[in-house]
Structure 1
Amino acid sequence: MATNRTFTMIKPDAVKNGHIGAILEQINGAGFRIVAMKYTQLSAEKAGEFYAVHKGRPFYDELVTFMSSGPIVAAILEKENAVSDFRTLIGATNPAEAAEGTIRSKYATSIGENAVHGSDSDENAAIEGSFHFAGTDIFA
C-alpha cells in the first residue's frame, strides 16, 4: 500500500548556493505539506549510516564526504502518491537529463552535487524519515 509521505534532504550544495527558500517554495507549490523539517549537518559517520545501502560502490566515499561537507535541510513531506510525485518533481539524478523545471534542472550542478535527495520507495521513505526524525518531531 502506498503511503502519502516521502523524505527529502536539501543537500549541502543547494544550501551553500542559497537555494533553500526557492526549493521549499517549489515543493509547496507542487502540493506537498511539510510535516517535519530541520536544518542540521551530518557527521561523516551519520552520512555513512544514511547511505550504507551504497557502501562498497565506487561513489560511496565521495558521497559521504559531500553529504557531511555542510548543512542540509531534512524534511518529511506529505501528499497523495508522495514518493512518485516527488521523484517527478526533483527530476533525474543527472541534471543534464532532468526535465525542464524540475528542482535538479534548476539547482543541481552535477550528478554528485544534485541539490536534493528524494526517497525511491515508500519503504525507504519511512526508514529515511525515521533516521532523521522521532515520531514526536512529525506534525501531520
Structure 2
Amino acid sequence: MRKLDKNKLAFLLFGIKFGDSRMQRSLIIVKPDAVQRGLCGEIMKRFENKGLKLAASKFMLVSRETAEKHYAVHKEKPFYDKVCKYLSSSPVLVMVWRGKDAVELARRVIGATSPFDASPGTIRGDLSMSKTSNLVHGSDSVETAEYEIPLFFSEDEVLSYDLCTDDWLE
C-alpha cells in the first residue's frame, strides 16, 4: 500500500497548500447579532472545519474606547459612530485563530462584507440577514491582525500548542 504524502492529504481534506505560506494569526469577533441569535458554536465550527486552530477566546462586553481603537481606520467615515456603538452594545465572542494563511482562510470562511454579495457556504452567505449587522469581523491582513489582537488579549492569553493531527498536516 502506498503512503499518502501529508501535504497532499492536507490539500485533499482541507484545500490547504503547505510549504508556500507561513503561520499566521487572525482576530475574529462574533458580533452582537450573531451572539443574540445563538450562532457562536456554528461560527467556531466553520473555522475548525477549515483546519484553523483556536489560540484564544474571550466572551466580553467591548468598551466604547476599545471599539473606537478597533475601528480607528474608519474614524472619518460616516458609519464610524454607528459601528462603534454597535460593537459595544452587547456581548461578543472575541477569538484568535492560528494556521497557515489564517487571515486569507478566515476571510474566505466569513464571506463578502455584504451578505447579498457573500457566496453560499460562507458564514455571511448562509447566516447573515443584514448588511450592517453582518455577524462576524475578521482581520483583513496580517498587519491588521497584529494591531487588533493586543486590543483584546495580552500576549500570554494567546496560546500556541500542538494537535495530534499537526504532524499529518505540516
TM-score (norm 2): 0.79
Alignment of 1:25-36 (within 5 A): 25-36=45-56
TM-superposed CA distance for 1:3, in Å, is 4.4
Q: Which runs of 5+ in 2 are unaligned?
A: 1-20, 161-170
From 99, 104, 114, give the equivalent of 1:79.
Answer: 99
Higher RCO, 1 vs 2 (CA within 8 Å, ≥6 residues apart): 1
From 57, 67, 79, give the equivalent of 2:77.
Answer: 57
Q: Report the aligned-residue RMSD.
A: 1.2
Aligned to 2:123: 103
Q: How many residue pairs were aligned? A: 140
Q: Percent identity?
A: 37
Larger Rg: 2
Poorly superposed stretches of 4+, deviation over 6 Å: none
CA displacement 1:47-102 (0-9 Å, x = unmatched): 11211110010110110111111001111101101111111110000001101010
Aligned to 1:8: 28
TM-superposed CA distance for 1:26, in Å, is 1.1
Q: Which runs of 5+ in 1 are unaligned?
A: none
TM-score (norm 1): 0.95
CA displacement 1:79-137 (0-9 Å, x = unmatched): 10111111111000000110101011122222211100010110011111111111110
Aligned to 1:41: 61
Distance in 2 (alpha carbons) for counterparts of 1:45 and 1:139: 26
Is 1:3–1:122's contact at 8 Å kept on the other side of the alignment? no
Is 2:66–2:151's contact at 8 Å kept on the other side of the alignment? no
